[in-house]
């Protein structure tokens, strides 16, 4: 099926060679030359275009393949835009500053990373959206870490780990629903089965974050008090400012689509902003929604933490996502990805090898295409028959797809999630990825489960009915 949708049918060796060249170009640009991912990906696209032309394919067909790949990002791009507006409006209304203020009041630095991970996990489970969790609670925790002079990279890793635990496990999550629907398993059966890798991953991650959290000294406490007084003076701190957060959470719990949910959060925050600050006009609010919230308190730390958001801030992410998925469209249509997937599905014997192949294939799709949904869909359809032949249940496949697909996408610098998180949290993917312990552990725990047999289930054979003749196909 995959080969039929591609322009070329390549041998496995040729597909591997092209893939190595592409990865070398991207790696050299990003790691070797320390470029932003845009230019290395453009260079990789040019290599693929030349390769396609050498194979006798018209440029018009190759351009169409790029457009098809980029089209899969349209939904994510709209969400990017609305979240950019949401962040700036929540700064304007005081929603994020209020979350930060009460966070400072009730938290200290002694277990900061562990608490950030725990709260992000709980919010992610409640609303089922890693993007919304990171853009709201995540931004607040980043601000708190900056004020406490704690590691921004570890804080971002804890936020990402918690947000994607929720994205993986919440019945409200689109990826959780996608994985269960792709392989045809009951949603809540899928969620229960994922506990085998999620619970150990959560416990280990929480323990490491707790161990990494530093002790706060008296000087640090004094700095926080100074920051709190400045925060209260320069922004709108009130319980009313929390209303937009509860509006978004309520609509998410009711399973409303992302754009209406984010719109409700934006409108409610603007109503509060107009109500509490007479200097806010439609014109000034519009400028904030486009260019982002800019605080000019004269306090450098406070200004840098709260000056965020806006449509303009999302343009870096949007352009990178379009380029990465355009490249993915070329890799797919030129037959490179279908060739690798079909080879991976051949001659896999035993639960351990099959689950490991599924996890690595999902990771590979994340690396090559950068799209979270395709990292679930493509391996899910590719390996479904292999799981049936081996006797493994559908829920085992669904869990492997989430462990290698959902939680790995935020670790890829040019992945949709990685690009978004870098822009929203202000921390590069390469900086926070080593500290996103839950995301790193899930693929390993999934593979370990396959080889140890822990948490693996096989289909029960159908009982023979006396007098019934079984016909072979």
Q: How many residues does the chain have?
A: 473
Please answer whether residues 304 and 146 qualify as being in contact, where contact means their C-beta atoms are separated by less than 8 angstroms. Answer: yes
364, part of any domain:
no
The rounded distance, in Å, linking the Cα atoms of 441 and 192 is 18
335, part of any domain:
no
Place of tokens 């990494």: 212
Place of tokens 């690009």: 419
Determine the pLDDT at residue 109: 59
Determine the pLDDT at residue 135: 86
Determine the pLDDT at residue 468: 44
Determine the pLDDT at residue 400: 93
Ramachandran class of 299: left when φ > 0, alpha when ψ lies in -120 to 50, beta otherwise: beta
175, part of any domain:
yes
Place of tokens 């995540």: 138
Backbone φ, ψ for residue 108 (5° rounding): -130, 175
Helix, strand or coil for residue 458? Answer: strand
117, part of any domain:
yes
Strand partners, 392: 458
The rounded distance, in Å, linking the Cα atoms of 231 and 265 is 22
163, part of any domain:
yes
Helix, strand or coil for residue 402? Answer: helix
What distances in angstroms separate CA 18 from CA 6, 12, 45, 59, 99, one per listed residue? 15, 10, 12, 18, 49
The rounded distance, in Å, linking the Cα atoms of 436 and 267 is 33
Backbone φ, ψ for residue 214 (5° rounding): -80, 165
Q: Which segments in the chain show pLDDT lower than 50?
A: 1-4, 218-219, 462-473
The rounded distance, in Å, linking the Cα atoms of 399 and 454 is 13
Closest to 142 (Cα-Cα) out of 93, 203, 91, 199: 91
For the chain, the domain total comes to 1
The rounded distance, in Å, linking the Cα atoms of 331 and 324 is 11
Determine the pLDDT at residue 461: 55
Closest to 355 (Cα-Cα) out of 197, 199, 168, 181: 197
Residue 168 in tokens? 């993986």
What distances in angstroms separate CA 19 from CA 16, 151, 327, 387, one per listed residue? 5, 36, 12, 27
Residue 80 CA from chain centroid, whole number: 12
Please answer whether residues 400 and 425 qualify as being in contact, where contact means their C-beta atoms are separated by less than 8 angstroms. Answer: no
Please answer whether residues 306 and 143 qualify as being in contact, where contact means their C-beta atoms are separated by less than 8 angstroms. Answer: yes
Place of tokens 């984010």: 262
Determine the pLDDT at residue 295: 86
Q: How many CB atoms lie within 10 A of CB 126?
A: 15
Which domain, by its residues, includes 151?
75-314
130, part of any domain:
yes
> What predicted TM-score, i.e. pTM, was given to this entire model?
0.79
226, part of any domain:
yes
195, part of any domain:
yes
The rounded distance, in Å, linking the Cα atoms of 153 and 118 is 17
Which string of DSSP letters, residue by residue, matches 438-449?
Answer: HHHHHHHHHHHH
Determine the pLDDT at residue 221: 56
DSSP code, position 311:
S
Q: For the chain, first and last CA: distance in Å? A: 22
Radius of gyration over every alpha carbon of the chain, rounded to an integer in angstroms: 24
What distances in angstroms separate CA 134 from CA 276, 277, 300, 446, one per listed residue? 26, 27, 23, 25
What residues contact residue 58 under an 8 Å CB cut-off, 6+ apart? Answer: none
| 237-276 b/e (C-beta count within 10 Å ≥ 16 → b) | bbebbbbbbebbbebbeeebebeebbbbbbebbbebbeee
Residue 270 CA from chain centroid, whole number: 28
The rounded distance, in Å, linking the Cα atoms of 285 and 327 is 37
Q: How many CB atoms lie within 10 A of CB 221?
A: 13
Determine the pLDDT at residue 183: 83
Residue 461 in tokens? 């054979």
Which string of DSSP letters, residue by residue, matches 239-299?
Answer: GGGGHHHHHHHHHHHTT--HHHHHHHHHHHHHHHHHHH-TT--HHHHHHHHHH------S-
Residue 157 in tokens? 């890793």
What distances in angstroms separate CA 445 from CA 268, 311, 453, one per listed residue? 42, 38, 11
Determine the pLDDT at residue 107: 67
């Amino acid at each position: 099926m995959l080969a039929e949708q591609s322009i070329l049918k390549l041998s496995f060796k040729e597909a591997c060679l092209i893939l190595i060249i592409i990865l070398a170009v991207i790696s050299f640009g990003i790691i070797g030359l320390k470029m932003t991912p845009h230019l290395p990906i453009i260079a990789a696209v040019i290599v693929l275009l030349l390769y396609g032309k050498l194979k006798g394919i018209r440029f018009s067909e190759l351009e169409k393949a790029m457009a098809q790949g980029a089209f899969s990002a349209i939904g994510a791009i709209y969400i990017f835009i609305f979240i950019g507006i949401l962040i700036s409006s929540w700064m304007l209304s005081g929603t994020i500053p209020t979350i930060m203020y009460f966070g400072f009041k009730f938290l200290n630095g002694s277990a900061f990373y562990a608490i950030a991970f725990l709260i992000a996990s709980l919010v992610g489970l409640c609303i089922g959206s890693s993007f919304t969790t990171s853009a709201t609670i995540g931004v607040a925790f980043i601000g708190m870490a900056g004020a406490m002079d704690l590691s921004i990279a570890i804080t971002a890793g804890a936020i990402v780990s918690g947000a994607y635990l929720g994205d993986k496990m919440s019945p409200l999550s689109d990826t959780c629903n996608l994985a269960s629907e792709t392989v045809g398993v009951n949603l809540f059966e899928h969620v229960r089965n994922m506990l085998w890798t999620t619970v150990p991953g959560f416990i280990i991650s929480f323990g490491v974050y707790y161990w990494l959290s530093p002790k706060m000294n008296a000087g640090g406490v004094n700095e926080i008090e100074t920051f709190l007084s400045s925060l209260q003076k320069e922004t709108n701190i009130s319980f009313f400012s929390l209303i937009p957060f509860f509006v978004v959470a309520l609509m998410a719990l009711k399973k409303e689509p992302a754009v209406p949910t984010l719109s409700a959060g934006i409108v409610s925050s603007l109503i509060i902003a107009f109500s509490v600050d007479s200097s806010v006009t439609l014109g000034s609010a519009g400028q904030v929604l486009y260019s982002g919230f800019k605080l000019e308190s004269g306090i450098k730390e406070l200004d840098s933490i709260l000056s965020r958001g806006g449509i303009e801030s999302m343009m870096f992410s949007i352009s990178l996502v379009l380029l990465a998925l355009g490249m993915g469209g070329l890799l797919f249509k030129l037959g490179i990805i279908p060739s690798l997937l079909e080879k991976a599905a051949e001659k896999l014997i035993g639960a351990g090898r099959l689950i490991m192949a599924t996890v690595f294939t999902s990771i590979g799709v994340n690396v090559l295409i950068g799209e979270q949904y395709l990292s679930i869909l493509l391996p899910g359809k590719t390996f479904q028959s292999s799981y049936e032949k081996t006797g493994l249940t559908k829920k085992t496949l669904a869990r492997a797809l989430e462990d290698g697909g959902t939680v790995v996408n935020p670790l890829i610098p040019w992945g949709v999630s990685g690009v978004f998180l870098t822009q929203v949290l202000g921390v590069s993917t390469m900086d926070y990825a080593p500290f996103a312990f839950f995301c790193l552990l899930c693929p390993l725990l999934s593979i370990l489960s396959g080889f140890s047999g822990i948490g693996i289930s096989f289909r029960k054979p159908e009982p023979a009915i006396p007098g019934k003749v079984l016909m072979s196909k």
